[in-house]
Structure 1
Amino acid sequence: MSAHELDHVAFAVPSWQSAGASVHRTLGARWVTGFHQGSFSPCQLELAEGMRLELLQPPAGGGGFIAEHLARSAGAANPHHITFKVADIHAAKDLARAAGVRTILENLDNQWWKELFLHPKDTGLGFLVQLVQTELALDGNDEITAPGAVPCPWDEQPAAQNPSQRLDFIAGSIRDAARARLVLGTVLGAQITDLEDDPKTQLFSWPLGSGLVLRVNESIPPGLHALSFTDPSTPTPILDAGLLQALRGSGSRFEALGLDILTGQRAHAA
């Protein structure tokens, strides 16, 4: 197994200030680190149990790939990619190629951060998949002295008042179940669970990080549509068709990220 952790979900947003403050108030996510760079500006927020959300903001002067991504949704925030940490990115690349999945945007020469993306036309998932090999802890200590690093741009509430929520799974739609199993199972080493009472839905999970719940739906474009959260002080819910149905009924649109938020127990009001 080459992929050992689903590390974070990244979103294209018009502004850190607005989106990040809303994510913090609603889900208790805590600022980790952020940078202003030439073509885009990334920042990361941490949820319970180490899971991350990444916000990608266009540069102040406009232009760049994040601005182009936002233009396709009339400027509204929306999911951009999911990042997996892998133990050996060259082995992961070989697995992808053997499965007929092209790799793009490769940067394999950086000692501290090797990355590549899987071609979205080959995965059929409806979202970009990034593979990263790194020794960085991503706890803010490694990056804080890097050029462009900035402090948190909003006032964070005390953790006791606004605890971080646990991201149990990321939900999406696909059209080709066999292709998803090939990419996420064979290439990325996921454990695959078929729901006996919902044959169109599959759970893809890893030893660390959240899981992916993907449902075959040929009537809508493939892609991510929801994040499911629970209070980390409660047991992790057991996923079955009944829970999924109940969660869908609890969903509400979260414009800061451009998808639905599902809550098993609770989440703060935005």
Structure 2
Amino acid sequence: MMPPALLDHVSIAVTEARPAWPLLRRALGGSWAISGTAPGFRFSTLRYANGMCLELLEPHRTDENPFVARFLSRGGPGLHHLTFKVPDLAAAVEAATAAGYPCFGVRTVDPSWHEAFIHPKVAGGTLVQLAQAGPAPLPPPPADLPPAGGATAALRVVTCPATEEARTAGLLRLLGGQVSGAGEFTFRGPGVRIRIGPARLEFTGVDAVTRVAYAGGAGIPFRDPHLGVDLVLA
């Protein structure tokens, strides 16, 4: 049986994280959550008003692992993966495999972060990460991080692409998603809805000045070139 899964963050692969900070930090008010490096990538994570996090992955030490650089070379910046935290990674991997979603890249060396992945070809189009997190020190934010804006927006809807919608829907149900509409699932925790379709992030609680400056108004999709996904501000 799949242990309770909590939708933790959506990860976007970018060429460089800093150019996206004015939008994600100053305009949308994301608070600094965590950052770090590993072979092949550097990550920085912002948390929004409802607790949902947005992670930016950028290439780093690519001679050790080129997976982010390879992703960017194929299609540029864009949605890279969804991460669900589980209390027992071994049980989650066993349950996913039994349900027809075998995992790869299982790593349990770091006591603060055990992880496994479900390949996009298995998940139906989008890479999914399962993670069991333990206590870990939090590094300070970078000195050049711009100040947050006024009110912090909430990241309410994540739309992820699917090549096989039925398989993606089956995996989202397995991970605890409750059907809330056609191709839409609501998850426990930050109350984020995941929809199946072209990659998009939808924020609420955005002030009128920001909505007009970036999108021309409320609810109008726009493409941020640094993120490579559509955004909707409301």
Q: TM-score range by the shorter chain?
A: 0.7 to 0.9
Structure 1 counterpart of 2:214: none
Structure 2 counterpart of 1:164: 152
Distance 1:162 1:113 in 2: 33
Structure 1 counterpart of 2:34: 33
Q: 1:157 to 1:192 in 2, by over 3 A?
A: same
Structure 1, residues 33-76: CA drift from partner, whole Å, max 9, x if none?
22244421111111112211111111267772111111112xx3
Q: Please say if residues 159 and 195 of structure 2, whose CA atoms lie closer than 8 Å, have aligned partners that are also in contact.
A: yes
Distance 2:39 2:28 in 1: 29
Cα distance, 1:109 vs. partner?
4.0
Cα distance, 1:175 vs. partner?
4.7
Please tell me the residue identity of whatever aligns with 2:72. L
Structure 2 counterpart of 1:16: 17
Distance 1:152 1:163 in 2: 21
Structure 1: 5+ residue runs without aligned partners?
A: 137-141, 196-200, 216-223, 234-246, 265-270
Cα distance, 1:135 vs. partner?
3.0
Structure 1 counterpart of 2:201: 227
Q: 1:176 to 1:66 in 2, by over 3 A?
A: closer
Give 3-state SS (helix, strand or coil) of 1:170's partner. Answer: strand
Please tell me the residue identity of whatever aligns with 2:134. E
Structure 1 counterpart of 2:230: 260
Structure 2 counterpart of 1:181: 169
Aligned-pair RMSD on alpha carbons?
A: 2.4
Distance 1:105 1:182 in 2: 21
Give 3-state SS (helix, strand or coil) of 1:72's partner. Answer: helix
Cα distance, 1:150 vs. partner?
6.1
Question: Rg larger in 1 or in 2?
Answer: 1
Give 3-state SS (helix, strand or coil) of 2:50's partner. Answer: helix
**TM-score between both structures, scaled by the size of structure 2:** 0.83
Distance 1:173 1:71 in 2: 19
Distance 2:23 2:144 in 1: 10
Please tell me the residue identity of whatever aligns with 2:193. G
Q: Percent identity?
A: 31
Cα distance, 1:20 vs. partner?
2.7
Give 3-state SS (helix, strand or coil) of 1:50's partner. Answer: coil
Runs of 4+ that moved beyond 4 A: 60-63
Structure 2: 5+ residue runs without aligned partners?
A: 208-217
